[in-house]
Amino acid sequence: MSDLPLMIICLLTYCRTDLTLRTIRGIATFLRYAGPLEWYVADDGSPPEHTNAIADLLTQRNFKANMHSARLGPGPSWTLAAQRALSMCDLIFWLEDDWELRRELDVTPYVRLLLERTDVGMVRLGHLPVGLVCDTVGHDGRHYLNVRKEKQYTYSGNPSIRHRRHFDAYGFYAPDTRTAGENELYHDGAVRSRGGPQVWWPVDLGGWGVFGHTGEQKA
């Protein structure tokens, strides 16, 4: 039996059914974690056809899942998802509905990092953008980049694993943002302007990472 705690995948979605189902299938096919996994779907008020398709696929894949579906706006919807997930666990796998996992990814070492290093609050799993200021760091025989706060996008809405301490230090999301991009900028500002746990990125993911950003493609 694993000694690792529950991690909840928070899936943030609105209307893009085909892309959302690709996102779920990619995780179901390629994600590896030695502990228990559940899902929380944060839907921002899509038609029932969208939420029903998500629920059906998660059931087919034998995932335990909870969901809200209400037109709240990105900030309140994302905040509600995080709060509900944190009421059940300390670890959130953050996932928007246009990121498709395309090769095997074992996140067990990254979870152990977050459990053992209280100075780290978030492990980024998307691609490595040009222009970040980073320090090379290590943990348990693996190399990471510690993303420093000199430039914008220390925080990223790309796929990541976040410990409760990330939200304790930096808060949740803006109550009045109109788009996902505005929401991301708001939270990035909080991360860069406040003292708190570090954001690390695993070097072994490679520069372009293991996720494809399907939202940049025509659905």
Q: What is the pLDDT of residues 10-41, one digit of tens each?
A: 999 999 999 999 999 999 999 999 999 999 99
Residue 1 has pLDDT above 60, yes or no: no
- Residue 216 Cα distances to 97, 126, 128, 185, 196, angstroms: 12, 14, 17, 19, 32
Q: What is the pLDDT of residues 113-124, one digit of tens each?
A: 999 999 999 999
Kindly tell me the burial class for residue 42, based on how many C-beta atoms sit within 10 Å of its own C-beta (0-12, 13-18, 19 or more).
buried
In this structure, what are the phi and psi dihedrals at residue 78, rounded to the nearest 5 degrees?
-65, -40
Segments making up each domain of the chain, as ranges: 7-216
Residue 207 has pLDDT above 80, yes or no: yes
Amino acid at 112: R
Whole-model pTM: value is 0.95
- Of residues 197 and 152, the one with the higher pLDDT is 197
**What is the pLDDT, as a whole number, of residue 78?**
94
Amino acid at 116: E
**What is the pLDDT, as a whole number, of residue 218?**
41
Q: Which of the four pLDDT bands, split at 50, 70 and 90, describes residue 176?
A: confident
**What is the pLDDT, as a whole number, of residue 216?**
64
**What is the pLDDT, as a whole number, of residue 136?**
98
**Any residues with CB less than 8 A from the CB of 90 and at least 6 apart, and which?**
5, 163, 164
Look over the chain and give the mean of its residue pLDDT values, rounded to a whole number.
94
Q: Which of the four pLDDT bands, split at 50, 70 and 90, describes residue 219?
A: very low
- Strongest mean pLDDT among 88-92, 176-180, 187-191, 207-211: 88-92
CATH domain 7-216 topology: Spore Coat Polysaccharide Biosynthesis Protein SpsA; Chain A (3.90.550)
Rounded mean pLDDT, 63-92: 96
